[in-house]
Amino acid sequence: MNSLDRELGMNRPIPRRDFLSGAAMAVAAGVLPRPLLSALEPSRSVYYPPALTGMRGTHDGSWEVSHALAREGKTWRRPASQTDDTYDLVVVGGGISGLAAAHFFRESAGREAKILILDNHDDFGGHAKRNEFRINGRTVIGYGGSQSIQDPSKYSRESKRLLRRLRVNLNKFRKAFDTELYDKYDLGQGVYFDKATYGRDYLMVTGEDEDRDPPYARAPISAEAKRELATLYSGGDFLRGLSNDGKLQFLKRTSYRTFLRENAGMSEEVLDLFQQRSNSLWGVGIDAVAALDCLYMTVHYGGGFPGLTGLNVDLAGESEPNWLGTEPYIYHFPDGNAAIARLLVRDMIPNVAPGNSMEDVVTSRFDYSQLDREGANVRLRLNSTAVKVTQLSNGHVEVTYVKGDRPSRVRAKRSVLACYNRMIPSLCPELPEGQREALRYNVKVPLVYTNVLIRNWMSFQKLGVRSVFCPAGYHHSVSLDFPVSLGDYSFSKSPEEPIILHLVRTPCAPGSGISAREQHQIGRYDLLQTPFDRFEREIRAQLGGMLAEGGFDPARDIEAITVNRWPHGYSYEYNTLFDPDFAPEEFPHVKARKRFGSIAIANSDAGGYAYLDGAIDQAYRAVQELMEE
């Protein structure tokens, strides 16, 4: 180990895991390495995935079987005998949509219905991932994927009803989410210029001395770039001469990067400052996002994409994008939508945890030994990857899955596939070719949600920031976690207390000129090739450079790291730069979700909409299709 690594703290023993197939393999083998022991506190032999740190999300051991099936065409022998009794429903995928499908089916078929849920990960919830940390006898909770209940008033009747059934009282978030905490400490937004790219580390606090200096005045960029930025922020009309409709059509089919370069006259230096601005929402940079989408973001959220508001575009006659949030962004559990997954599981498998409210589910410790209990009406089987789903001549469905290296098979009267659309053609090769082609159109957006537990946030207080955008950063954003206290769980109230930092990375291929879908495929490959040590080194270096002036020491102040890696992250949403104007019935996700015999298709992929209510709505639709028989 070199001196720089030691200075960053790479030699410091923190809880971290980069293991083959999660705690299950270690427990089954009777081998519990020291880091895993600390993650399984307080009971050192209990299987409890939320407390594992290191490489999480799509962890090693969860994806290899699927890749062997889809990429290599590997097949597994059909087991001679059936594993369990025949179920009323087998669900492939234990994310929000799969769990909701099981719930809706049970509601319709009766509580005695026998249901099996299969998932390839070592934890349930899919992208709704819960991360737990222990420090000084205290549990700190974070979210590793699906984030919040966005715009709940716009939810469908079925999604609203499910939340009520789970006893989610949205009004309680108005008190639980402390909207004034960071303002109390005068924490704002920042932009971090790293030394490797810009010659020196510099953290610019947005709004600081703006009455005296324009934005970026003291940033380590050229004088010419500063002059260009002054022009960009001046509010001029860079599309003068075009009608309102002409501007709308131009912005719809032109990337924001192209607009900045060709219409606003910005140099490559300035373009690169904004390249990653769009990554958090779309998973690609401004070279692959329409300027019109950036305009909507700017109008509704303020700032971020300068040069657009001066165009004076009238959006009144346009249909607002379905991703656009218009309600306060406060409907957030400490573990994000993992709480919704936990509420669903506890509702169907009551022995898994005590309690009956949205508050107590936050701190309830789930007993994973109850998930797949013999004789239970609802069983949730983890570390189990489906490899073949067959429609039988008698109307039943046979599902073959692999757990460890052993294939097993079960039968059911019906099945819901709540897994990734792109995997379904490999699972069900008997589907019509047109449907398989539509299923393959969906390329999920790769992303990384990294949670870093730090000893305190006094450096953020000293520097005056709560969130930071990093134009050239490995992670393009760093922010203090959402300040939510619910039930017996209390968020960090003062800068002296531990807190989780939330970092976001969306690997892609900026400047390549290829489509967003192609960039997502490249990003997925990048994620699967990147070891945990690379993430850790980049995290330590980025935080060390960004927060040094605030007294932050990565070797001293970082207590634990969890990298939630999602090579198949957000569901793909259509992009006006690359996708045709489909007629409503011709959208690939509509063709892809067509029922096949006793097999229905759910997941947010089936709705072309990467949000909680999308996953729930598609689960409801899939179950209704199956119950029409």
Which among 428, 442, 420 is positioned nearest to 97, based on CA atoms? Answer: 420
The pLDDT value given to residue 39: 39
What is the tens place of the pLDDT at every residue in 335-355?
A: 999 999 999 999 999 999 999
| Per-chain mean pLDDT for the chain | 92
The pLDDT value given to residue 83: 87
DSSP-derived letter for residue 259 is I
The pLDDT value given to residue 598: 98
What is the tens place of the pLDDT at every residue in 462-479?
A: 999 999 999 999 999 999
What is the tens place of the pLDDT at every residue in 129-173?
A: 999 999 999 999 999 999 999 999 999 999 999 999 999 999 999
CA distance 122 to 36: 14
pLDDT band at 213 (very low <50, low <70, confident <90, very high): low
**pLDDT mean over 580-595:** 95
The pLDDT value given to residue 319: 83
> In the 3-class helix/strand/coil scheme, how is 180-243 assigned residue by residue?
CHHHHCCCEEEEEECHHHHCCCEEEECCCCCCCCCCCCCCCCCHHHHHHHHHHCCCCCCCCCCC
E runs forming strands in 455-488: 465-469, 477-480
Q: Does residue 196 have a pLDDT over 50?
A: yes
CB under 8 Å to 576, separation ≥6 — which residues? 252, 253, 290, 292, 293
pLDDT band at 212 (very low <50, low <70, confident <90, very high): low
pLDDT band at 24 (very low <50, low <70, confident <90, very high): very low
In this structure, what are the phi and psi dihedrals at residue 82, rounded to the nearest 5 degrees? Answer: -75, 140
What is the tens place of the pLDDT at every residue in 262-285?
A: 999 999 999 999 999 999 999 999
**pLDDT mean over 499-511:** 97
The pLDDT value given to residue 413: 97
Which among 270, 274, 202 is positioned nearest to 230, based on CA atoms? Answer: 270
**pLDDT mean over 500-511:** 97
To which H or E segment does residue 414 belong?
strand 406-417
CA distance 534 to 541: 11
The pLDDT value given to residue 152: 97
Q: Does residue 559 have a pLDDT over 50?
A: yes
Which among 320, 318, 319, 313 is positioned nearest to 239, based on CA atoms? Answer: 313
Q: Does residue 42 have a pLDDT over 50?
A: no
Q: Does residue 259 have a pLDDT over 50?
A: yes
Q: Does residue 17 have a pLDDT over 50?
A: no
The pLDDT value given to residue 349: 98
**pLDDT mean over 555-563:** 97
The pLDDT value given to residue 4: 79
Q: Does residue 45 have a pLDDT over 70?
A: no
What is the tens place of the pLDDT at every residue in 351-369?
A: 999 999 999 999 999 999 9
pTM: 0.93
The pLDDT value given to residue 13: 76
**pLDDT mean over 238-262:** 97
Structure tokens at 293: 């989408």
Q: Per this entry, what is the length of the chain?
A: 629
What is the tens place of the pLDDT at every residue in 284-337?
A: 999 999 999 999 999 888 778 999 999 999 998 888 888 888 899 999 999 999
**Tokens 């449907």 identify what position?**
435
The pLDDT value given to residue 261: 98
pLDDT band at 214 (very low <50, low <70, confident <90, very high): low
Q: Does residue 34 have a pLDDT over 60?
A: no
User: Quick check: 260 and 307 in contact, CB under 8 A?
Assistant: yes
Q: Does residue 97 have a pLDDT over 50?
A: yes
CB under 8 Å to 514, separation ≥6 — which residues? none
What is the tens place of the pLDDT at every residue in 169-187?
A: 999 999 999 999 999 999 9
Share of the chain above pLDDT 70, in %: 93
